Structure 1
Amino acid sequence: MKVAVASDHGGYNLKEVIKGYLEELNIEYQDFGCHGLESVDYPKYAKIAAESVVKGDCDFAIIVCGTGVGVAIAANKIKGIRAANCHDCFSAKATREHNDANVLTLGERVVGPGLAKMIVKTFLETKFEGGRHQRRIDQIKEIEDMWR
């Protein structure tokens, strides 16, 4: 498994925590930036990380900003991305099982490091259930194709 990680300045510190945690779990990752606390625009980093998933260079992406909302909106503009902003383990599990989410977004100003690690672990370890959920993913793809 390879995970893309990215953030803006508001999510930089939590991104660094997540990178360390991925190393502890022996999960390969690629850091798409940003690389410090200087103000940057989050759509750029969400786009780069999400594109790495669509291209198949990475299996998942974890993108962090202040709330997780902005990067989720930006990432979801990329065809084939199903980004979910999760602030609890139940949502992280459900979005993988039911929505086959391939991008997790987090908010550094919302989620502390300990909880973020639990959410990341839950997201990455949970498998898509398929079945009736696949039908719904196919419907999402149909909607996406109508507008792109």
Structure 2
Amino acid sequence: MIALGCDHGGYELKQEIIKYLEEKNIPYKDFGCHSTEAVDYPIYARMVGKAIQTGECEKGILICGTGIGISIAANKMKGIRAALCTDCFCAEATREHNDANILALGGRVVGPGLAVKIVDTFLNTEFSHAERHQKRIDLIEE
């Protein structure tokens, strides 16, 4: 299951991603927000991160205006590796090399067409399990 979260700056893009997930029959849980009314992004980063920490969800997608604040907030949580991606190459590389478990997007930075392609790449790329990559992830976790 995919955990979704956003602030007001990411709400509209989240709606586009929900359409993609529903078209692909990918289960998700929407942790909010649920409108363009101003909210505090750390709240939603925390809810999505907690869903991954507990195993309720396998991966997450977080969206704020730039993707920066919400990814910083999520990365404060143990075991969370949130990657802000603006293209498919970054989405593929962060899954293969970093085993990122949260994709962060900027609702005011990336258009819906590209965002859906980035999401598709992120969700369909596996971690390489190469020893050098696992070693680096272990160092991050320390």
Equivalenced residue count is 141
Say whether residues 1:14 and 2:10 are aligned partners: no
Aligned to 1:140: 140
Secondary structure in structure 2 of the residue aligned to 1:105: strand
Percent of aligned positions with the same letter in both sequences? 62
CA shift, 1:130, in A, is 1.2
Aligned to 2:69: 70
Matched residues in 2 for 1:17 and 1:46: separation? 19
Secondary structure in structure 1 of the residue aligned to 2:10: helix
Matched residues in 1 for 2:103 and 2:77: separation? 14
Aligned to 2:39: 40
CA shift, 1:50, in A, is 1.0
Aligned to 2:99: 100
Normalising by structure 2, what TM-score?
0.98
Unaligned runs of 5+ in 1: 143-148
Give the letter aligned to residue 96 of structure 1: R
Matched residues in 2 for 1:54 and 1:94: separation? 22
Matched residues in 1 for 2:119 and 2:56: separation? 19
Aligned to 2:26: 27
Aligned-residue RMSD, C-alpha: 0.5
Matched residues in 1 for 2:140 and 2:107: separation? 29
Unaligned runs of 5+ in 2: none
Normalising by structure 1, what TM-score?
0.94
Secondary structure in structure 1 of the residue aligned to 2:9: helix
CA shift, 1:67, in A, is 0.3
Secondary structure in structure 1 of the residue aligned to 2:60: strand
Give the letter aligned to residue 115 of structure 2: A
Structure 1's consecutive aligned runs of 4 or more residues displaced over 6 angstroms after TM superposition are: none
Aligned to 2:85: 86
